[in-house]
Amino acid sequence: MKISKFLAIFLLIFTVSSFLPVYSQSSTSRGTTQMNNRVSNVDIPLVDLSIREPNSGKEVAFSVQVMILLTILSLAPSILILMTCFLRFSIVLDFIKRALSLQQVPPTTVLNGIAFFMTLFVMWPTFNQIYTNSFKPMSDGQIALDEAFVQAEAPLRLFMFQQLGDDETTIETFMGMAKLPQPRNPSDVPTYILIPAYILHELTIAFKIGVLLYIPFIVIDMVVASILMSMGMIMLPPVQISMPFKLMVFILVDGWNLLTQQLFVSVLR
């Protein structure tokens, strides 16, 4: 007991003595700070926003053009999803993930990234045509904004008509909803009719591909479930047992390459 008290007193004295030199040094020493003469001041620019009445019609037109461009930029993701083949690719890739009974692997971000780059490969000639005929002349001041919009709209309309092919049912449906006469040629179809018709067509094609992808994996699930029932393993989930077999079949047939090739063929026919 006496030894423990002696050790406690010794530790207390040692701790206090270790702090005393630091305190005395910090209280007596003085530091100086001097800026280097070669360091210059940072010039912060002044950002000013002024609102005034337009002096001419050109200023009004320019303001409207800026507003339209900002609106188009804000709608660019929706345009990419709805007016390109990204919709078909993303839905089919999500179908194959569900058919394999996978929950977290691969992540949805990865599948969307694959669909995005596949869309770039397919749509690159269309985007290049839009840049050559619309954006580049407008940036050089050769054409106005309205003409640039028409030039950018034409390649996308052509692509959507090519994907629709002989399927005129959706176009006739939306033309009837809008109470418009039946078109005699593709140029008579307005763009606001063509876009929803193309979306419904892409959804139909994607779901057809998804059903075809589901069939072989459903057969594997049924075989595994019947085997488990015959063995009396009722409480064991069939999906948990069939998932490795589905993955092995998918890998052995080189599923990812076959899937991407068939998706390209379905668009670039």
- pLDDT given for residue 47 in this prediction: 57
Split at pLDDT 50, 70, 90, the class of 28 is very low
Average pLDDT, the chain: 75
Q: For the segment 121-180, what is each residue's pLDDT rounded down to a tens digit?
A: 888 888 888 888 887 887 777 777 778 778 888 888 888 888 887 777 888 888 888 788
Contacts 24+ apart (CB under 8 A), 148-152: none
Q: Is residue 22 predicted with pLDDT exceeding 50? A: no
Select, from the ranges 12-26, 76-90, 107-121, 176-190, the one with the highest average predicted confidence (pLDDT): 107-121
What value, to the nearest 5°, has the Cα angle with vertex 196 and ends 194 and 199? 105
Q: Is residue 16 predicted with pLDDT exceeding 70? A: no
Q: For the segment 219-253, what is each residue's pLDDT rounded down to a tens digit?
A: 888 888 888 777 777 777 777 777 888 888 888 88
* Cβ atoms 167, 189 nearer than 8 A: no
* Cβ atoms 116, 86 nearer than 8 A: yes
Q: Is residue 195 predicted with pLDDT exceeding 60? A: yes
Please identify which residue in the block is written with the tokens 């009445």: 53
**Cβ burial 81-107 (10 Å sphere, 16+ → b, else e):** bbbbbbbbbbbbbbbbbebbbeeeeee
Q: Which of 200, 175, 169 is nearest to 190 (CA)?
A: 175
* Cβ atoms 188, 172 nearer than 8 A: no
Q: For the segment 201-211, what is each residue's pLDDT rounded down to a tens digit?
A: 889 888 998 88
- pLDDT given for residue 247 in this prediction: 85
More confident residue, 165 or 117: 117
- Please state, in angstroms and rounded to a whole number, the distance separating the CA atoms of residues 8 and 20: 19
- pLDDT given for residue 19 in this prediction: 44
- pLDDT given for residue 67 in this prediction: 74
- Please state, in angstroms and rounded to a whole number, the distance separating the CA atoms of residues 267 and 229: 43
- pLDDT given for residue 262 in this prediction: 86
- pLDDT given for residue 6 in this prediction: 47
More confident residue, 62 or 214: 214
- pLDDT given for residue 80 in this prediction: 72
Q: What is the dihedral of CA 189, 193, 195, 198, to 10 degrees?
A: -80
With a pLDDT cut of 70, the percent of the chain lying above it is 74
Structure tokens at 235: 């409480």
Q: For the segment 29-59, what is each residue's pLDDT rounded down to a tens digit?
A: 454 555 555 655 556 666 555 656 665 555 5
* Cβ atoms 266, 209 nearer than 8 A: yes
Q: Is residue 95 predicted with pLDDT exceeding 60? A: yes
Span 67-82, mean pLDDT?
75
